[in-house]
Structure 1
Amino acid sequence: IYDPCCGSGGMFVQSEKFVEAHGGKIGDIAIYGQESNPTTRRLAVMNLALRGIEADFGPEHADTFRRDLHPDLRADYVLANPPFNDSDWFRKDDDVRWQYGVPPRGNANFAWVQHFIHHLAPAAPGSSGGMAGFVLANGSMSSNQSGEGTIRQALIEADLVDCMVALPGQLFYSTQIPVCLWFLAKSKAADAKRGFRERRKQTLFIDARKMGTLIDRVHRELTEADNAKIVNTYHAWRGDVVAGGADPGPNGLNAAVYNDIPGFCKSATTKEISSHGYVLTPGRFVGAEEAEDDGEPFEKKMPRLVGELRAQFAESAKLEQAIKENLERLGYAG
């Protein structure tokens, strides 16, 4: 597992918790990180040491774009929460990492994306290669400024984008910027070892913007049920054997487990994405949520609604007359 902007190591701690929760042991995974802030790096080292987790943070703190401390690493998983829309970053125009286009100097979003891809393990016989999951600002899904749209198109045409999740606002204490989750896969070919179905030229879109619960006036949290719905939808779409506890059906996909849900999720082809100008905003694909049918026939509902509207008009007229009378008593008539 690799995080090139690891901060105090939160992603690594959660990774170990995940492994243990699924029957693994601390030490089953190898951890690699890099952090540019020396104080934060020391916190990461201490954070993992206190939990008995071994990690390679390189010999010292360093800027990932200026000096990659793990240049030869090809990771099975990349997990990251890079700085959003960073305009103060170092760019070398002929950097080997810019396989899909040179990122703009004013925004490092697609520099981070291409750095993640550069460090993913390649696909091999029997393995679909590395996967990356990371948080970015919503603008990364649709921006066409300074060549960002061209880079995003190249990523899509290279069939790297596995899943996009639009998250609700107010999730972070440090920023009000709306964010999304990107999931990339080095290869979407069937992977028997991981239990993935064949999903080349397909991308899953999940619109989770309406999910979550306000815990105070300005902060929202995703509940366990919310998280489970998002995770299970992605796993079912990938055809994971564990999805729904069922074996995958034809082509590895159990249709009883995954279905497009209007307003929430949609499996789209690369051709469909191209028809939307290579924009990856889930709301463009999932459509509108289906309204629930209350079972009342239209021929009965319409007269009832008209009757309620007329009663409200009558009540409005009474209120208007009462207000006029009060104004007259106060000497403000006419």
Structure 2
Amino acid sequence: MADIKKLEKELWEAADNLRANSKLTSQQYCMPVLGLIFLRYAWGRFKTVDAQIKESRAHATGRQVPIEAADYTKRGAMFLPEEARYDYLLNLPENETNIGKRVNDAMTALERQNPQLAGVLPRTYTDLGSDLLRETLRIFNNPALDEDGDDIIGRIYEYFLGKFAPAVASDDGVFFTPKSLVRMIMNVIEPSHGTMLDPACGSGGMFVSASDYIREHGGNPIESMTFYGQEKVEYNAKLCLMNMAVHGMNGKIKSGDEANTFYSDAHSLDGSCDFVAANPPFNVDKVKSEDAIAAGRMPLGVSGINKKGEFSNGNYLWINYFYSYLNKTGRAGFVMASSATDSSGKDRGLRETLVKTGHVDTMLYVGNNFFYTKSLPCTLWFFDKGKPEELRDKVLFIDVQNYHTVIDTTHNEWSPWQLKNLSAIVWLYRGQTEKYSELLDEYCAEIRDASEAIDDEDAKKALASVTSLGDFPAAHEALASFIEKRKEQVKKTVDAAKPRERKLLRESLAEEISQLEERLTVIDEVLWLTEKFGAGTYADVPGLCKIATQEEIEEKNWSLTPGAHVGVPPQEDDGVDFHERMGEIHVELKQLQAESNELMDTISRNFEEFGL
């Protein structure tokens, strides 16, 4: 995986150099810089897919047909004409005096190849100067941009926008949705066909993730799904189109005043969508109630109109829209401020109406520090108008504020295995036990593969023989024991090395230990899952999940806050007597204080002896 923060820093330094050595304003150099990153990322995806196509052709038999642009889009990449390939620009002759024109020509060629990009890509590169542009092209040739699977462009775009156009960024709110949240939404709504709408589409991360999900499950999103987006901020809409194009996708994106979702159903999709996915701006105020009501899409009713004739909080407008856009079997998944699950006043009546439809599927509380630029908690809401009859009276509540991977002090995310585990809870609630069994098989295969990296016979045997539920604890114990032994061996090896060799050796061996610990984490995750649900039987888990009936939700005053339903987990007894331990700590503190006083006296005497 790319070190995204390191990548951002490196790319920003290049962009800042461009700003400092040009006469452009922030607004003027924003899109040219992002256009170069787009071009580099597009080339990385093109190279990968080009190699795949040529490899498959090498093994094919029979008559070879020419490679076409459609062959690239089927695999999630954009075909690049030769003059638009990053290496072509990077390797222009040293005596080339007008690199800006060559980059402009590359953008023109891309728009000609991809009509959905018409008028989107920047063509102001002749303003930058050849020397500066050549250096920027070189710095942006970062191999991390060859990586697949994340909305890297959206993430970098938000970082850049916050750096050199803070007024635009703050006006838009949080438009980049972390990959963990986006992927969790896809795992629950399971996009496969038809129409998908994101009425607050930002940089298009929902569409990219939906496309990835469909491909991973054997489909072709180009053939099976149509993507529609609305985005008020034109900067973001352009980025969305660029983002989709680089992933081999087409989308119908509208921006500007006509795309303000509060006042417009820009694509006339009310009641027509198979899937809705979004991360709308939270707690928006000053929405004109008369215009919003006239625009319709409020089947749950309205609430929160103040004396000025404005909605003082737009959260339930969004909730109305997401529900209204769905067709008779449609599914929606969206991010929402956690306050919306239990807000009072007329909102409570709207929630009651919503719950009584039987279409609230799952409510998942996330907790703090998942967003890239903000630390606020949020909740993922899921609607399903096609719920089976036996689930119409029920809602699955999940609270995972304490289940995540800490990336740093301000950033949490779900690992791929944690995402699978959370999805497994939903599968069991829906009765999809075969998916749960397939996940256990996947865990078994992953653990067996890990045995190849171990040279301890006992540990290797314990991991290589994992085939069922009962093998996980023994595999965990064997691998944990091996890691501790390996750490001791590493320490001895480093200590015995020559001083000048120790740093390099320590780094090399630390990487080995890190990889082993990652493999141990996989077993930790399957133990987390199976300790709660065994071979695949759903059960309410205090503090984690509960299936609540409408009657139980009514008893909670129509609250949809997961914590109000799942309760708190039972406190584990660590076997330590609190009062006894506090007494011991008090004695230890007194002893440390005495030692500290004695040390200070010694230091003072030493200073006196030196005449200080």
Determine the C-alpha separation between the residues in 2 that align with 1:17 and 1:46: 16
Query: Is the contact made by 2:363 and 2:560 (CA closer than 8 Å) also made in structure 1?
Result: yes
Q: Which residue identity lines up with residue 565 of structure 2 in the other structure?
A: F
Determine the C-alpha separation between the residues in 2 that align with 1:241 and 1:306: 47
Determine the C-alpha separation between the residues in 2 that align with 1:203 and 1:148: 19
**CA deviation after TM superposition for structure 1 residue 37, in Å:** 1.4
Cα deviation per residue 1:108-142 (whole Å; 9 max; x = unaligned)? 111011111111011xxxxxx00100000110111
Kindly tell me: are residues 52 and 322 of structure 1, through their superposed partners in 2, closer, same or farther at Cα, counting changes over 3 Å? Answer: closer
User: Which one of the candidate residues 564, 567, 580 is aligned to 1:287?
Assistant: 567
Q: Which residue of 2 aligns with 1:126?
A: none
Kindly tell me: are residues 255 and 153 of structure 1, through their superposed partners in 2, closer, same or farther at Cα, counting changes over 3 Å? Answer: farther
Matched, 1:180 2:379: yes
Q: Which residue identity lines up with residue 43 of structure 1 in the other structure?
A: L
Q: Which moved more, 1:96-105 or 1:79-88?
A: 96-105
Kindly tell me: are residues 311 and 144 of structure 1, through their superposed partners in 2, closer, same or farther at Cα, counting changes over 3 Å? Answer: closer
Once the two structures are superposed, the pairs formed by residues 163-174 of structure 1 within 5 Å of their partners are 163-174=362-373
Query: Is the contact made by 1:244 and 1:257 (CA closer than 8 Å) also made in structure 2?
Result: no
Alignment length, in residue pairs?
302
Matched, 1:97 2:280: no
Runs of at least 4 residues of structure 1 off by over 6 A?
Answer: 319-327
Determine the C-alpha separation between the residues in 1 that align with 2:239 and 2:303: 30
Q: Which residue of 2 aligns with 1:10?
A: 205
- State the SS of the aligned residue for 1:220: strand
Matched, 1:81 2:279: yes
Query: Is the contact made by 1:163 and 1:184 (CA closer than 8 Å) also made in structure 2?
Result: yes
Matched, 1:66 2:263: yes
User: Which one of the candidate residues 12, 26, 32 is aligned to 2:228?
Assistant: 32
Matched, 1:144 2:344: yes
- State the SS of the aligned residue for 1:53: coil
Kindly tell me: are residues 38 and 322 of structure 1, through their superposed partners in 2, closer, same or farther at Cα, counting changes over 3 Å? Answer: closer
Determine the C-alpha separation between the residues in 2 that align with 1:12 and 1:289: 36
Kindly tell me: are residues 310 and 62 of structure 1, through their superposed partners in 2, closer, same or farther at Cα, counting changes over 3 Å? Answer: closer
Matched, 1:118 2:324: yes
Q: Which residue of 1 aligns with 2:496?
A: none
Query: Is the contact made by 2:366 and 2:399 (CA closer than 8 Å) also made in structure 1?
Result: yes
Cα deviation per residue 1:142-170 (whole Å; 9 max; x = unaligned)? 1114x222211211122221111000201
Determine the C-alpha separation between the residues in 1 that align with 2:236 and 2:536: 46
Query: Unaligned regions of 5+ residues in structure 1, if any?
Result: 123-128, 191-197, 247-253
**CA deviation after TM superposition for structure 1 residue 319, in Å:** 6.3
Q: Which residue of 2 aligns with 1:193?
A: none
Q: Which residue identity lines up with residue 65 of structure 1 in the other structure?
A: F
Q: Which residue of 2 aligns with 1:194?
A: none
Query: Is the contact made by 1:34 and 1:62 (CA closer than 8 Å) also made in structure 2?
Result: yes
Q: Which residue of 2 aligns with 1:125?
A: none
Q: Which residue of 1 aligns with 2:238?
A: 42
TM-score between both structures, scaled by the size of structure 2: 0.45
Matched, 1:213 2:385: no
**CA deviation after TM superposition for structure 1 residue 314, in Å:** 4.8
Q: Which residue identity lines up with residue 212 of structure 2 in the other structure?
A: K
Q: Which residue of 2 aligns with 1:22?
A: 217
**CA deviation after TM superposition for structure 1 residue 188, in Å:** 2.2
Kindly tell me: are residues 320 and 109 of structure 1, through their superposed partners in 2, closer, same or farther at Cα, counting changes over 3 Å? Answer: same
Determine the C-alpha separation between the residues in 1 that align with 2:247 and 2:587: 70
Which structure: larger Rg? 2
Q: Which residue identity lines up with residue 116 of structure 1 in the other structure?
A: F
Query: Is the contact made by 2:233 and 2:255 (CA closer than 8 Å) also made in structure 1?
Result: no
Query: Is the contact made by 2:437 and 2:536 (CA closer than 8 Å) also made in structure 1?
Result: no
**CA deviation after TM superposition for structure 1 residue 3, in Å:** 0.7
**CA deviation after TM superposition for structure 1 residue 282, in Å:** 1.0
Query: Is the contact made by 1:7 and 1:44 (CA closer than 8 Å) also made in structure 2?
Result: yes
- Matched-pair identity in %: 33
Q: Which residue of 2 aligns with 1:250?
A: none
Query: Unaligned regions of 5+ residues in structure 2, if any?
Result: 1-195, 305-310, 439-533, 605-612
- State the SS of the aligned residue for 1:285: helix
Query: Is the contact made by 2:214 and 2:221 (CA closer than 8 Å) also made in structure 1?
Result: yes
**CA deviation after TM superposition for structure 1 residue 40, in Å:** 1.4
Cα deviation per residue 1:206-257 (whole Å; 9 max; x = unaligned)? 00101222222222222223212211111211122543137xxxxxxx9943
Query: Is the contact made by 2:234 and 2:255 (CA closer than 8 Å) also made in structure 1?
Result: no
Kindly tell me: are residues 322 and 201 of structure 1, through their superposed partners in 2, closer, same or farther at Cα, counting changes over 3 Å? Answer: same
Q: Which moved more, 1:26-35 or 1:307-316?
A: 307-316
**CA deviation after TM superposition for structure 1 residue 309, in Å:** 5.5
Cα deviation per residue 1:158-203 (whole Å; 9 max; x = unaligned)? 222111100020111232221110001114225xxxxxxx211100
Kindly tell me: are residues 62 and 267 of structure 1, through their superposed partners in 2, closer, same or farther at Cα, counting changes over 3 Å? Answer: same
Determine the C-alpha separation between the residues in 2 that align with 1:309 and 1:46: 60
Cα deviation per residue 1:238-277 (whole Å; 9 max; x = unaligned)? 122543137xxxxxxx994321111110111111111011
**CA deviation after TM superposition for structure 1 residue 84, in Å:** 0.7
Determine the C-alpha separation between the residues in 2 that align with 1:79 and 1:312: 52
